[in-house]
Amino acid sequence: MSEARTVALLMAAGRGVRSGGGVPKQFRTLGGRPMLAHAYRALRLHPAVAEVVVVAAADQHAAVADALGVEGVRLVAGGATRRESVRNGLEVLADNPPARVLIHDAARPFLPAEVIDRLLAALGTYAGAIPALPVADTLVRYDGVMSDTVDRTALYRVQTPQAFVYGAVLTAHRSWPADQDPTDDAQMVRDTGHEITLVQGDPMLEKITHPQDFAYAEARLAAASDVRVATGFDVHRLEAGERLWLGGVLIPHDKGLSGHSDADVALHAITDALLGTIVDGDIGSHFPPSDPRWRGADSAHFLQHAADLIATGGGTISFVDLTIICEAPKIGPHRDAIRARIADLLRLPLRQVSVKATTTERLGFTGRGEGIAAQAVATVRLPRD
């Protein structure tokens, strides 16, 4: 264990549905993925953060795992209040205590790495550090009519993540009187006699609370993104004695597609379209036919590899459109199963996957039933450099 091991607690225990959409806001979609996935990713990708532990209501753990789309995330049950939820998270870490802990709210999805850098640097000197921004607006007292103006020069707006020396925040939580409600973790640590410092926050870190906040956040995300569209195309030969995999679904037919892998022409076309959006070669350069590892391989693996590369680069798949070109079998009866399988593999909502089919009027190799062709278009949103 390195001396400065840092663990992040991502607080996603809220049940508030006032942001609209009928689900707790951390699960509402923002930029094509659930809101909590944004903050999770920002924390997970920071080189100083060893682990991200998510605190969420026990009955929402399955939803959290699904929203994050990654295996093996440590989930902790939240409590009745935010304080209890944080305490539960801190206690879980006590078995293998980190040196430092970041406590962040899932409702602040856009977390710049520079803020984490500043917080952790400040922990070299202080037991706690919090990001804050000066108050820009004029502040006044109000008692039915406008009263005095409040001097704002010493006032700051506090954001998260808040960073602490682990032992200090754990002690503060363990010793806090059960009947007192603190405003936040920093206040609790301060009350145990530690100095907390302020580091520069970021306007991107604004908390998302109301329905209109989602609209602003979407606009901000769009302004910071590039939309890429790329195509993929593939052909495989139909042969007797082969199984027919199309779009990740095994389809009963008197012939199947032949190739080095399972020859799923549809998944290959989509894989190439996805790789095209990130200018990362093609399926052959990632999975060379000369490599015996890919003999008979499940093409779902190729597709998910391309999707992982996009996610690793901070991208989000917005849409996939597939066209299967063949005379037989008829695709219509299998269309829903293929759509569902592709959506599942890419962890996309069904409405973001389109599957179409056409014949070539008995013309050409597809028309003669010698092979099946597939073409795909993928739309991906990538963070602007």
In the complex, the residues that contact Mg ion under the rule CB under 5 A are 234, 268
CB 369 to Mg ion: min, Å: 18
Nearer to Mg ion, 257 or 353 (CB): 257
Number of helical (H) and strand (E) elements in the chain, helices listed first: 12, 19
Tell me the H-state helices in the chain. Answer: 35-45, 61-68, 82-92, 113-122, 166-175, 185-191, 211-223, 265-277, 283-286, 300-312, 335-346, 364-367
Strand-pairing partners, residue 8, are 52, 102
E strand or H helix at 103: strand 100-105
CB 342 to Mg ion: min, Å: 16
CB 29 to Mg ion: min, Å: 32
Nearer to Mg ion, 43 or 269 (CB): 269
Nearer to Mg ion, 170 or 377 (CB): 377
DSSP letter at 86? H
CB 268 to Mg ion: min, Å: 4
CB 283 to Mg ion: min, Å: 6
Q: Give the CA radius of gyration of the chain.
A: 26
Nearer to Mg ion, 111 or 266 (CB): 266
Q: Return the sign of the alpha-carbon dihedral for residues 306, 308, 309, 315.
A: positive
Nearer to Mg ion, 126 or 287 (CB): 287
CB 270 to Mg ion: min, Å: 11
Question: Is the N-terminal amide bond of 329 cis, ω within 30° of 0?
Answer: yes
Asked if 55 and 80 count as a contact pair (C-beta separation under 8 A), the reply is no
Nearer to Mg ion, 41 or 268 (CB): 268
Distance CA 59, CA 106 (A): 17
Q: What are phi and psi of 228, to 5 degrees?
A: -115, 140
Q: Give the residue at shortest CB distance from Mg ion.
A: 268
Distance CA 161, CA 207 (A): 11
CB 232 to Mg ion: min, Å: 10
Nearer to Mg ion, 158 or 230 (CB): 230
